[in-house]
Chains A and B, each alone.
Chain A
Amino acid sequence: LAKTTQPISMDSYEGQEVNITCSHNNIATNDYITWYQQFPSQGPRFIIQGYKTKVTNEVASLFIPADRKSSTLSLPRVSLSDTAVYYCLVGERRSGSARQLTFGSGTQLTVLP
């Protein structure tokens, strides 16, 4: 499984755009990149998934360079409620073995007023 590296923590202010970068140098050809969000005492929640270039949904954007060795989760105009831990995961999109991706320690994002 490809290992991921993320910053331990980040601070931001309300209304700002936040970019969280994840490194995954050993990403395999069949691997997708997935981001989850977790609030305290809750299970993680899927945010976005991508394979290359750019993916955008109503919550976030995901930027993946051509070499796919890193990815950046972009949260536009964050609010206090975006304070959470964000996990970057790499693995096969639909593994026949159902083996789950590995959750690292994630990035604690704190949005300040």
Chain B
Amino acid sequence: SQTIHQWPATLVQPVGSPLSLECTVEGTSNPNLYWYRQAAGRGLQLLFYSVGIGQISSEVPQNLSASRPQDRQFILSSKKLLLSDSGFYLCAYRDRGHDEQFFGPGTRLTVL
């Protein structure tokens, strides 16, 4: 069966520190992968999506970056976190030829 993992589940980081969030998918090949951010009480904002290894598209300009070093691995990074980076980060995947997106458990990031 297909599963999606994210870690860590929660993270508290000081302003200016680096960030690395990891997402992995099992049970599927060559999925489309997505990173979203959700601020408290708000909808989801698409940050990045990827159609294949090394292929990253950015939806909004920001101090975050994404990478896809392997087919089923998606990483969200930052060199220097800002207070405004706090939020709930969700990774999702979608199989080719299918409609539904499946979301991971999310990472709650608090930047102090």
Contact = CB atoms under 8 A, between A and B. Distances in A.
Task: Note whether A and B form a binding pair.
Answer: yes
Contact of A44 (B51, B103, B108): B103
Interface string B17-58: 000000000000000101010000011111001110000010
Nearest to A102: B46
A110 to B, nearest CB: 14
Contacts of B102: 46
Contact of B43 (A94, A97, A100, A106): A106
Interface string B71-99: 00000000000000000101010100111
Contacts of A99: 49, 57
A43 B94 contact: no
A105 interface: yes
A71 interface: no
A81 interface: no
A93 B97 CA distance: 9
A65 interface: no
B43 A105 contact: yes
A94 B34 contact: no
B43 A43 contact: no
Contacts of A29: none
B53 to A, nearest CB: 14
Contacts of B103: 42-45
Given A98-B94, A100-B49, A44 B100 contact: no
A49 interface: yes
B101 to A, nearest CB: 7
Given A93-B99, A106-B43, A42 B106 contact: yes
B34 A42 contact: no
- Which 4 pairs between the two chains have the least Cβ-Cβ distance? A43-B103, A103-B44, A98-B32, A46-B100
17 contacts: A32-B99, A41-B106, A41-B108, A42-B105, A42-B106, A43-B105, A44-B90, A46-B99, A49-B99, A87-B44, A94-B97, A98-B51, A100-B34, A100-B46, A100-B92, A105-B42, A105-B43
